Amino acid sequence: MNVSMQWLNDYIKATIDPKDLAEKFSLHAQEVADVTPLYQAEGLVLGRVLKTETIPDSKNKKCQVQVGDAIRTIVCGAPNVAAGQDVIVADIGATLPGGIQIKTAKINGIESAGMIVSLDEIGLDKKYHQETGIHVLEPAGADSLDTLGFNDQVIELELTPNRMDLMSMLGVAYEVSALYEVPLTLPKVTVKESNQVNPVKTVIDTDLCDAYYGRVIDDITIKESPEWLKNRLIAAGIRPINNIVDVTNYVMIDLGQPLHAFDLDTIPSETIRVKAAEADETFTTLDGQERTLQKGDILITDGKKPIALGGVMGGLDTEVSLKTTRVFLESALFNATRIGQTSRRLDLRSEASLRFERGIAHDRALLALDKAAQMMANLGGGTVAQGISKAERNVHTPWDISLPLSRVNGVLGTALTIDEAKQILSRLHLDVTVQGDVLMVLVPVRRLDIKTEQDLIEEIGRVYGYNQLPITLPSTNTEGGLTAYQRKRRQIKRHLEGLGLFEAITYSLTHPDKEKGFTEAKGTHVLRPLSEDHQSLRQTLIPSLLDVLKYHHARQMESVHVFEMGHVYLTEETETLALALSGPWHEAPWKVARPLDFFVLKGVITHVLDLFGVTATFKPAMLPALHPHQTAELVVDGNVVGFCGAVHPKTLNAYDLKEAFVVEISIGKLKAYFNEENRYIPVSKMPSVKRDVAFIVDEALPAESLIKAALDAHVDHLYDVEIFDVYTGKPLLDTEKSLALRLYFNDKTGTFKTADIDRLMDQLTAHLTQTLNIRIRT
């Protein structure tokens, strides 16, 4: 929001330094980004060209220009300079953009005292004008450029979404009045109506419109706006177009109420009907684009066909043009959520849609309508027809909030009296009464951000001054420290970093299409997403980590191994650990890198699960986004706690990757197995014995099942089992494979004898052959 200081003076008559206002506004209200002059030039004055003479053998002209009481000779090369024009003159000593100093100079042998300037030469961006020569002012009887708004200062505000009340000059004036404790001059509008009666009737057929008002202005002449109006729009960051469109934009910035003007003669009906669009209904907007609408978009119709997309953009057929003589002026209150959804989906964000989206002060709709109608009549030579077209459904009224003084002082740490608190709220132009030690506040509809007593406390705190609040340390009887789970999280991160992985932090919002193939759960969508790519809460971390791999691979980084510990949002919010690996494992220039495969992935997973003291079974699974033969569920005590696998080739192509392996583990589910207690197991003084044995098993039997069966046999002194060889081929059948086990035994009380080990091995092999229906490979 850009604030014109000259415009602000319409409401605040006190003299206020722009830089002082910027400092105070940043401290007590909202952040100020910058304070700049409207035009990047100093020393500009108003001049009138009295006479011009062509200079022989030159395109330049010798001009006699009246500046104040003096008459100056100025040589000008602009082709459009002529006698009788009011122009902008850079006087001797003036400074133009780029630090150019204006001095007396001889041009074509003639001493030139100053410069007649164009808008480009005083720093106005081309997006605000299409002029090629000097800027010629409309005769307005102004005695200085100040009157026309050329010597204005602009304050750029960085507004947070909740302060919709500051999206108008009147709203800013309310705030400035409170900060400086100066009177506020409220706008007064008197509409001079003609004898002609407004023939238009308005009807609302949808709950998405709270109110719809309109006025008719007859005998309008479309022309250029006066300089003061154009300069105020430029200060607000809006390009001037013509007097009718400029008035709608001016009043929107002034009062915060968006307006729209229709060419009434292009509307075949005298009934304006507001309705919700049907699915796949089409409409051509002002920019000539045919838009396909969704069910629930707000349409303004002539009773049969649409003439505007409510709150977003008008229609091409009813656009105000140079031929327009009758205008129907709209002032409406549309549903904020629906306007936001429609404007973002169609990529039609505008100053008007932004204000509807943030929230409109309902009590200004009629005020804005009257002010704009009278301005159009004044600037276009027209007349305002009698009566207002009016349809209402749900117009906001002020609401009450009770605020105990004890709550104010308890939250802020202050010792304000009831009168001091009342005085602060009254400065904000809130209606306040006192009942004992309770403040009864009537909140006006312009302050949609004040809904609870906490909001009122915030208002008191910021106006009182955050820098004046007492500094106190919070009292507590507990000592700071990490919880057991927080320590475990840090341990997991350190462990993964030690394995060579880098931590990534990605957005919690994503596009739902990215998650297809990784989860089938229905996502939670954001009502007002910031962008198309961030419209739903993520249900898996994998797509975001694949984006990380894609980003780094595009920059010639082939070996990328990352992890993230973050929250996903299924039926409830839960913490998840995800890994994404791509490229050689532990690549280094002095050694041969190990290729990345499923077993590397499995080893990393096993290390992580060891930190929780659990062992997972890798059960074959199918996920559309992962490879059908290299995907597994992680099962702990019968509960699926995650999945892992190689990324499917189609998914790899979507991310421009050659290979990738991913893991996702629900930390929330593993919490049930977490035990902070660490038990010390003494190291045996006796030597361990290891024996190898190979079994011929069914090709489909998981190696893990064999290990688990060996440990479940509860053979004395057996403490570890591992697979050290897998063999397929002759003389085995095609449906068979050989799994070789390495068994570790230890007796803490003595040294094993060969007979003891043989007995234990016989006991174990007998158990395995009977339990799994397998045989020893000889």
With 70 as the cut, is the pLDDT of residue 591 above it? no
Residue 254 and residue 129 share a domain: no
The partner residues of 525 in beta bridges, in order of sequence, read: 536
Which is it for the CA torsion 530, 532, 535, 538, positive or negative? negative
For residue 47, the surrounding DSSP H or E stretch is strand 42-54
- Residue 544 backbone dihedrals phi, psi, to 5 degrees: -65, -40
Residue 174 and residue 126 share a domain: no
Cα(248)–Cα(242) distance, integer angstroms: 10
Average pLDDT over residues 757-762: 93
With 80 as the cut, is the pLDDT of residue 474 above it? no
Cα 250 to the center of its chain, rounded Å: 27
Instruction: Kindly report, residue by residue over 243-270, the tens digit of the pLDDT.
Output: 999 999 999 999 999 999 999 999 999 9
Residue 587 and residue 573 share a domain: yes
With 70 as the cut, is the pLDDT of residue 242 above it? yes
3-class secondary structure, 160: coil
Q: Is residue 402 part of a domain?
A: no
Residue 340 and residue 227 share a domain: yes
Average pLDDT over residues 27-38: 92
Residue 329 and residue 210 share a domain: yes
3-class secondary structure, 541: coil
The partner residues of 193 in beta bridges, in order of sequence, read: 384
Cα(307)–Cα(286) distance, integer angstroms: 10
With 80 as the cut, is the pLDDT of residue 90 above it? yes
**CATH code of 381's domain:** 3.50.40.10
Instruction: Kindly report, residue by residue over 489-505, the tens digit of the pLDDT.
Output: 899 999 999 999 999 99
Residue 59 and residue 14 share a domain: no
Higher pLDDT, 255 or 680: 255
With 80 as the cut, is the pLDDT of residue 478 above it? no
Please give the full DSSP string across 457-504, using - where no structure is assigned: HHHHHHHH-GGGSPP-PPP-SS-----HHHHHHHHHHHHHHHTT-EE-
pLDDT given for residue 40 in this prediction = 84
The partner residues of 401 in beta bridges, in order of sequence, read: 441
Q: Closest by alpha carbon to 210, among 96, 338, 71, 39?
A: 338
**CATH code of 158's domain:** 3.30.56.10
pLDDT given for residue 531 in this prediction = 85
Q: Is residue 681 part of a domain?
A: no
**Side chain identity, residue 669:** K
The partner residues of 309 in beta bridges, in order of sequence, read: 299, 313
Residue 552 and residue 439 share a domain: no
**CATH code of 727's domain:** 3.30.70.380
What domain count does the chain have? 6
Residue 531 and residue 510 share a domain: yes
Cα(233)–Cα(225) distance, integer angstroms: 10
3-class secondary structure, 340: helix
Six-digit token string for 9: 């003076």
pLDDT band at 516 (very low <50, low <70, confident <90, very high): confident
pLDDT given for residue 305 in this prediction = 92
Which is it for the CA torsion 290, 294, 297, 303, positive or negative? positive
Q: Closest by alpha carbon to 709, among 746, 741, 755?
A: 741
Cα(271)–Cα(212) distance, integer angstroms: 12
pTM of the model: 0.67
Q: Closest by alpha carbon to 148, among 274, 47, 245, 13?
A: 47
pLDDT given for residue 140 in this prediction = 55
pLDDT given for residue 144 in this prediction = 65
Lowest mean pLDDT across 67-76, 196-205, 473-482, 538-547: 473-482
Residue 337 and residue 295 share a domain: yes
Q: Is residue 475 part of a domain?
A: no
Q: Closest by alpha carbon to 286, among 310, 314, 324?
A: 314
Residue 374 and residue 354 share a domain: yes
Cα(407)–Cα(193) distance, integer angstroms: 51
- Residue 157 backbone dihedrals phi, psi, to 5 degrees: -100, 140
3-class secondary structure, 680: coil
pLDDT given for residue 741 in this prediction = 93
Q: How far is CA 408 from CA 428, 460, 623, in A?
A: 16, 8, 55
Highest mean pLDDT (candidates 373-387, 617-631, 680-694): 373-387
Query: Among residues 151, 167, 202, which one ends one of the domains?
Result: 151
Lowest mean pLDDT across 249-263, 512-526, 582-596, 758-772: 582-596
**Domain span including residue 144:** 42-151
Cα(766)–Cα(424) distance, integer angstroms: 88
pLDDT band at 151 (very low <50, low <70, confident <90, very high): confident
- The residue to which tokens 């304006």 are assigned: 272
Residue 552 and residue 513 share a domain: yes
User: What is the rounded average pLDDT for all residues in the chain?
Assistant: 91
Cα(493)–Cα(398) distance, integer angstroms: 53
Residue 54 and residue 26 share a domain: no
